[in-house]
Amino acid sequence: MATSEDDEPTTPELPEERLEESQPQCPFGVGGSCCRICYMGPCRVSDGAHGMERGVCGATPGTVAARNVYREIASGAASHADHAREIATVLAEIADGELSAYDIADPEKLRTIAADLGLDAEGDVSAVAEQVAEAAIEDFQEGGETLNWLDRMPDEQREYLAKQGIEPLPSADKEVARAMHRTTQGNDADPKHLLTGAVEAGLTDGYAGLTMGTDLQDVVFGTPQPVQTEADLGTLREDAVNIAVHGHSPVLSEMVVKHANELEDEAIEAGADGINIVGICCTGNELAERQKVPLAAHSSQAELAVTTGALDAMVADIQCIWPGIGDVVECHHTRLITTVDYVRIPGAEHVSFDPETAAEDAEEIVRRGIAAFGDRHSRQDYTVEIPDRTTDAMVGVSDDFVLNVLESANPENPSRPLVDAMEAGDLNGIVGIVGCPNPKMRTADMTEILIEELLAENVLPVVTGCIGHITAQNGYLDPAMTDELAGDGLAAVLNDLGEAAGLDGPLPPVWHMGSCVDNSRIGNVVRAISEDAGVPTRELPVVASAPELIAEKAVSIGTWALALGLPLHTAPTLHMDHSEEVTRIMTEDLKDITGGFAIQEEDPKAAADAIASALDDRRTALFEEA
């Protein structure tokens, strides 16, 4: 952290300032053509005017960029698979009666998943849970013939890819290991072949990561239904013990919420008016959709939350916890508490969280927050400045909810209301706007402009991850904004669906579908429409967009969308600009392989135009053929 000459901490910089300081950034890193996988380099290669044409080993810019992007995807798949493995293990232990703190909240969903996996869905819930957990854990082991969770994929697209030899390995762990091996120095060097492998890793991410994660979290913690909550830093309360839960896993955060409720009296004894749990990044989305917990901040605002002076504890588990927070808490009373033994952050204290001792561990965490509240109040000169900003947000628009509403509107043919609206031009398509808040794009209001442009064009945005926070903070998740923001056709569709759902008004202009693993919910809606309407996913007017891409996880999610045959927009552009070959494969050649293709556009209005035009092409082709 920044220190003065006498080593007193000075005000730490926030992400925007650090970004400024990082300029100019290395063009080879940005262009994807810096190769540092061996010790003859690093080699900086490029098809353009600068750099070498070949690395010391002879690797072309295409080989280097393809290997780099494949490694990003493997890392993303590893992250989501590890996330899914945790909840699979919890489910197995619940089924065995070994965990007292957790239960099965949605047995019906458990049976639906079991049936989709071809397992016995009838009988005792524990027996079904045991089989489902076994099938999940098998997806991380050697031995199976195929990845079990691929049964959750649209059959038609699965067969289409299989005919071209695209099928992930039966073990997610092996898929990730194979990706690392294939991309090592002196191994697979053919850009197209490497990128086909990357698509397989994307499928691993989509099914043994995202879909398994959401499926089992819904089983254990409940399937979300729409609820109203609030968003932004104004959800912190000066007189409360404020505990922010940051990261990704409800296995931890659900327990923090439960035990905060039980320890309210201790907080009141300490002089607070209660305990206020707020959510940051994807944990925020998980808790909002199931527990109505306020969406306080996206990942790049986490440090800002500490600077309010009101945050007593920030509890972190896995992924997207920026280490800069460690510097910021040094200047405040806030306790940064890490909980996962393989994730430590300088400046944090650690409480090892174990599902087997969940109650004691969660109580310990909450009590540290209460103690920090005491520290805050014992400091005479301590100032608290909470921004006076909150917005109303409807969250929890889950796949189950959406599909039930469609079914109630047209029981015979649930996709009909959407397909008819597309044919009539009232709904010009659906765009999954997912991922992160990148400071590079934040200053340009990338997400806001993109979404407002698309809404005006009667395109329905469905969102997850930190984009969920950005949209909540802008009021886009508020049903009261539907008629103002959506084009006339889309507004009519949202009003009709709101009525079919039995709500008092329309559905919100933007649908919050949850955390980043909950991108699987978008996949499930796409699958249901595809199967019901008999249209392959690669022909549906659906696009994916990560308009403020940060994480490797977002690249792997995007690659899963490409595998489903969807166009994928990203900003910033993927790390591939220095290779004409890789750029061509991703933006053109892939159309003949999966049906998907990459759209690279960093200007929000131009991105909205490119997405709308991709949707138009698909709608025209669909209804002309029909």
**Distance in Å, CB of 281 to ligand BF8, minimum:** 3
Q: What is the DSSP letter of 575?
A: T
Using the minimum distance from each CB to ligand BF8, give the nearer residue, 554 or 582. Answer: 554
Q: Distance between CA atoms of 402 and 497, rounded to whole angstroms? A: 9
- DSSP letters spanning 392-444: EEEE---HHHHHHHHHHH-SS-TTHHHHHHHHHTS--EEEEE-S---HHHHTT
DSSP helix/strand/coil, 45: strand
**Distance in Å, CB of 67 to ligand BF8, minimum:** 22
Q: 63, 191 in Cβ contact below 8 A?
A: yes
In 3D, which of 446, 484, 465, 421 has the Cα closest to residue 553?
465
Taking CA atoms, 540 is separated from 233, 406, 507, 620, in Å, by: 38, 17, 22, 11
Using the minimum distance from each CB to ligand BF8, give the nearer residue, 427 or 467. Answer: 467
**Distance in Å, CB of 467 to ligand BF8, minimum:** 7
**Distance in Å, CB of 336 to ligand BF8, minimum:** 17
CA atoms within 13 A on the CB side of 404: 12
Which helix H or strand E contains 520, and what residues bound it?
A: helix 519-533
Using the minimum distance from each CB to ligand BF8, give the nearer residue, 60 or 515. Answer: 515
In the chain, the largest separation of any two C-alpha atoms, in whole Å, equals: 75
Using the minimum distance from each CB to ligand BF8, give the nearer residue, 551 or 611. Answer: 551
**Distance in Å, CB of 442 to ligand BF8, minimum:** 12
Instruction: Spell out the SS3 assignment of 269-308.
Output: HCCCCCEEEEEEHHHHHHHHHHHCCCEEECHHHHHHHHHC
**Distance in Å, CB of 435 to ligand BF8, minimum:** 5
Write out the residues near ligand BF8 by the rule CB under 6 A.
248, 281-282, 299, 319-320, 435-436, 465-466, 515-516, 550-551, 553-554
Looking at the DSSP bridge assignments, the partners of residue 568 are: 544, 598
Using the minimum distance from each CB to ligand BF8, give the nearer residue, 223 or 447. Answer: 447
Using the minimum distance from each CB to ligand BF8, give the nearer residue, 229 or 415. Answer: 229
Using the minimum distance from each CB to ligand BF8, give the nearer residue, 206 or 417. Answer: 206
**Distance in Å, CB of 122 to ligand BF8, minimum:** 35
**Distance in Å, CB of 209 to ligand BF8, minimum:** 11
DSSP helix/strand/coil, 460: strand
Looking at the DSSP bridge assignments, the partners of residue 335 are: 313
Looking at this protein, which amino acid is placed at residue 287? L
Q: Distance between CA atoms of 52 and 424, rounded to whole angstroms? A: 53
Using the minimum distance from each CB to ligand BF8, give the nearer residue, 43 or 315. Answer: 315
**Distance in Å, CB of 519 to ligand BF8, minimum:** 9
The number of beta carbons lying within 10 Å of the beta carbon of residue 93 is 15
**Distance in Å, CB of 231 to ligand BF8, minimum:** 14
Using the minimum distance from each CB to ligand BF8, give the nearer residue, 282 or 336. Answer: 282
**Distance in Å, CB of 399 to ligand BF8, minimum:** 18
Burial class from Cβ neighbours inside 10 Å (0-12, 13-18, 19+) for residue 575 reads: buried
Using the minimum distance from each CB to ligand BF8, give the nearer residue, 247 or 309. Answer: 247
Pairing of strands 241-246, 275-280: parallel
Using the minimum distance from each CB to ligand BF8, give the nearer residue, 47 or 552. Answer: 552
Kindly provide the residue ranges of all beta strands, DSSP E only, lying in 204-283, ordered along the sequence. 227-231, 241-246, 275-280
* φ/ψ of residue 52, rounded to 5: -85, 155
Query: Hey, what are 220's tokens?
Result: 């254990």
**Distance in Å, CB of 214 to ligand BF8, minimum:** 12
Looking at the DSSP bridge assignments, the partners of residue 75 are: none
DSSP helix/strand/coil, 547: coil
Using the minimum distance from each CB to ligand BF8, give the nearer residue, 515 or 594. Answer: 515
